[in-house]
Amino acid sequence: MSANNKAVKNNLALRQGLRNFRSGVRKNKSLIPFLIPAMVFALVFSYLPMIGILIAFKDNPNFGRYDVFEAFSRASWTLDNFRILFSDPEILKYIGNTMIISVMKIVILFPLPIILAVMISEVKNKTFSKIIQGMVFLPHFLSWVVITGIFNNLLDLYGPINNMITSMGGDSIYFMGEAGWFRPLVVILSGWKEIGYSSIVYVSAITAIDSSLYEAAQIDGASKLKQIWKITIPQILPTIIVMLIIRIGYLMDAGFEQVYTMLNPYTRETGEIIGTYVYRLGLGTGTRDYGLSTAVGLFNGVISLILILGANFISKKKFGTGIW
């Protein structure tokens, strides 16, 4: 306490801050219990296991043969897991692929659910609206293996799309086997599967818009598009920004399951991402090889944290809103 007092004496601003904090605590202390269940679950099921991140710096502890603590202390400290990861001359290429695919997905796919949500919310007919919402929601439930399989058929050399191309006098295209087609296809398939599901957030945000705003605009004679642009979008902007920040946080995740099911020998150049590369080498997935996968997770996590903090900072500066 006395040390605290000294510091407070020396710094008026800090004292002010501390006073605010204290009064904040006093004012809100009845709220704290409501925070506790979520925090306890987080502490027990997320933070406690996070001690395990240290495995990234260990030479494969032999869990199973020894008790956890013993296995951990027997394994020697090492940076080998990171060395294996970064000494590989190709890993940079695959980090690049990961980022390119991810950025393409964000730039092209992020706005689409918003547009879809706006379109859906403009539908007057309730039944039509429900049917459409049901339809666009469906693909989310199919696994990537199923979706890729269907596209393989559609895009087959003798499939319907190539039949169309040849009947119009073009040459058949081996879509699934051309490096150049891989990234566009990843984006298209991903959009196909997830746009409808992602739009739900925005649909629900739009329903919360105060309808008196529209009435005022209509009295002013604003066109539909203008109403969307001037009312709907600004009203759901906080939701959009929050979603964007979270999405940016997942930049290092280009969609392992999707890319894994779509990759083939011809498309590795443009399509191999960190996840699939590590998986393919059997590193980190050697079933008793825990160090490397933990190292990859830690690397991705650090980058995500930096990205989220950065995106949130910029958003606060620019729009005055963020995720905190």
* Residue 123 near another protein by CB under 8 A: yes
* Residue 257 near another protein by CB under 8 A: no
Binding residues for another protein restricted to 149-188, rule: CB under 8 A: 149-150, 152-153, 156-158, 160, 174, 176-177
* Residue 99 near another protein by CB under 8 A: no
The CB density around residue 139, as the number of other CB atoms within 10 Å, is 18
Among 69, 77, 167, 317, binds another protein (CB under 8 A): 69
* Residue 110 near another protein by CB under 8 A: no
Which burial class, exposed, middle or buried, applies to 241 when counting CB atoms under 10 A from its CB (0-12, 13-18, 19+)? Answer: buried
Among the listed ranges 7-15, 76-84, 96-104, 144-152, the one in contact with another protein (CB under 8 A) is 144-152
Binding residues for another protein restricted to 193-222, rule: CB under 8 A: 196-197, 200-201, 203-205, 207-212, 214-215, 218, 221
Helix (H) or strand (E) holding 310: helix 290-319
Binding residues for another protein restricted to 46-65, rule: CB under 8 A: 46-53, 55, 62-65
Residues with Cβ < 8 Å from 122, sequence gap 6 or more?
224, 228
Render the burial of 174-192: b for 16+ CB within 10 Å, e for the rest. Answer: ebbeeeebbbebbbebbbe
Among 5, 9, 14, 35, binds another protein (CB under 8 A): 35
Angstrom distance (rounded) from CA 143 to CA 54: 33
Angstrom distance (rounded) from CA 74 to CA 65: 11
Cα 42 to chain centroid distance, Å, stands at: 20
| CB closer to another protein, 4 vs 223 | 223
| CB closer to another protein, 50 vs 164 | 50
Among 225, 206, 253, 218, residue whose Cα is nearest residue 101: 253
Q: What is the 3-state secondary structure (H, E, C) of 122-162?
A: CCCCHHHHHHHHHHHHHHHHCCHHHHHHHHHHHCCCCCHHH
Q: How far is the CB of 250 from another protein (least distance, A)?
A: 9
Cβ(63)–Cβ(71) below 8 Å: yes
Among the listed ranges 3-11, 74-82, 96-104, 133-141, the one in contact with another protein (CB under 8 A) is 133-141
* Residue 234 near another protein by CB under 8 A: no
Among 7, 68, 79, 165, binds another protein (CB under 8 A): 68
Binding residues for another protein restricted to 281-320, rule: CB under 8 A: 281-282, 286-288, 290, 293-294, 297-298, 301, 304-305, 308
